[in-house]
Amino acid sequence: MENKRYYGIDVGGTTVKIGLTENGAVLDKWSVPTDTSDGGRNILPDIIRSLPGPAAGAALAVPGAVLPDDTVNRCVNLGWGVCRPAEEFTAVSGIPCRVLNDANAAALAEQRLGGGKGFESVLFVALGTGVGAGVVLDGRLRVGARGTAGEIGHLCLDPLDTAAACTCGHTGCLEQYASATGISRLAAQAGYPGLTSKQIVDAAAAGDGKLEAVVDRACDALGRGIASACAIIDPETVVLGGGVALAGEYFRAKVQAAFDRYAFHACLGTEIRLATLGSDAGMLGAALYAMDRP
């Protein structure tokens, strides 16, 4: 029966999460440490050694850009440059393999099984160190012609805000306001250096007016960016995930209010929902991707 089984493999900077799935159900899951030494060359052998047996397919969710032909274009956190890990994985394991971006994997999982369940078109936005994203249309993940589909984190919101220099080389990207890093940056600007985004959102929710203004500014940027993305792809719904979104309804409601302020009138009514799969989303999405495109 192993030919209906798929491995979903979420390769993070410190841990690799692996799940063995059958018809979308997780039969078993485990993890292995990510050995980033030596250009990350032990990562794939370590993963393959941990697998209990053959399968119909596998997919690797990785923290970096992936081109539509499964070429990885750098994963700084893994030590990988431009490489083709699916080929190496298949050559050693004998298991057909695909590669996708980790936020894209989470998008697919949240659309099928999580916060976007019941919708065929979903914009997923993951608020972590950066802002990741993914687009599912007609029930299928869209990676785009160059693998950037959904890259809402680099929408240019304010090209003149020189305080918001982005790692991408531009200025005023959404990521500089709405990621965990961005929220901490805004708080530091407001006179509260050294706080994590969780500390900031918790204090704001507990009634700190100055930090609430910081959170409002982050949510305003995020709502405006999501409004732009919805004008372009017009999904049925939007799902917010990642660490920052763990702040829950307090944060979601602020993003929804900002979206409603900026949205093109025909997009009003688009609901912003919270992700539900937590840190399993990448692994689950990778397994679904392997099933979709064996």
Residues near a copy of itself, by CB under 8 A:
65, 73, 121, 135, 137, 142-152, 154-156, 159, 168-170, 224, 227-236, 262, 264-267, 269-270
Query: How far lies 240's CA from each of 46, 55, 106, 284, in Å?
Result: 32, 32, 11, 17
**Considering beta carbons, is residue 156 or 190 the nearer one to a copy of itself?**
156
Q: Minimum distance between the CB of residue 213 and a copy of itself, rounded to whole angstroms? A: 17
- Three-state DSSP at 119 gives coil
Strands 140-142 and 131-137: antiparallel
Which residue's CB is nearer to a copy of itself, number 34 or number 121? 121
211 alpha-carbon distance from chain centroid: 26
Closest contact distance (angstroms) between CB of 224 and a copy of itself is 6
Q: Which is nearer to a copy of itself, 5 or 273 (CB)?
A: 273
Q: Closer CB to a copy of itself, residue 41 or residue 74?
A: 74
Query: With respect to a copy of itself, which residue has the nearer C-beta, 95 or 155?
Result: 155
101 is written with which tokens? 């971006």
Q: Least separation, in Å, of the C-beta of 114 and a copy of itself? A: 18
Bridge partners of 29, per DSSP, are 19
Least Å distance, CB 118 to a copy of itself, is: 13
What angle do the packed helices 209-233 and 249-262 form, to 10 degrees? 50
The alpha carbon of 78 is separated from its chain's Cα centroid by a whole number of angstroms, namely 16
We find the least distance from the C-beta atom of residue 56 to a copy of itself, in angstroms, to be 25
Q: Which is nearer to a copy of itself, 73 or 199 (CB)?
A: 73
Q: Nearest approach, Cβ of 47 to a copy of itself (angstroms)? A: 26
Of the two residues 134 and 282, which places its CB atom closer to a copy of itself in the complex?
134
Distance in Å, CB of 125 to a copy of itself, minimum: 11
C-alpha–C-alpha distance, residues 106 and 112, integer Å:
10
Element (H, E) at 85: helix 85-93
Place of tokens 């009514």: 269
Query: Side by side, which strands form the sheet with 131-137?
Result: 140-142, 131-137, 122-127, 237-241, 271-274
Phi, psi of 239 (to 5 degrees): -120, 130
- Residue 126 CA, chain-centre distance (Å), reads 4
Output the smallest distance, CB 155 to a copy of itself, in A: 5
**202 or 292: whose CB is closer to a copy of itself?**
292
Could you give the CA distance from residue 210 to residue 195 in angstroms, rounded to a whole number? 13
Give yes or no for a contact between 78 and 107, defined as CB atoms under 8 angstroms apart: no
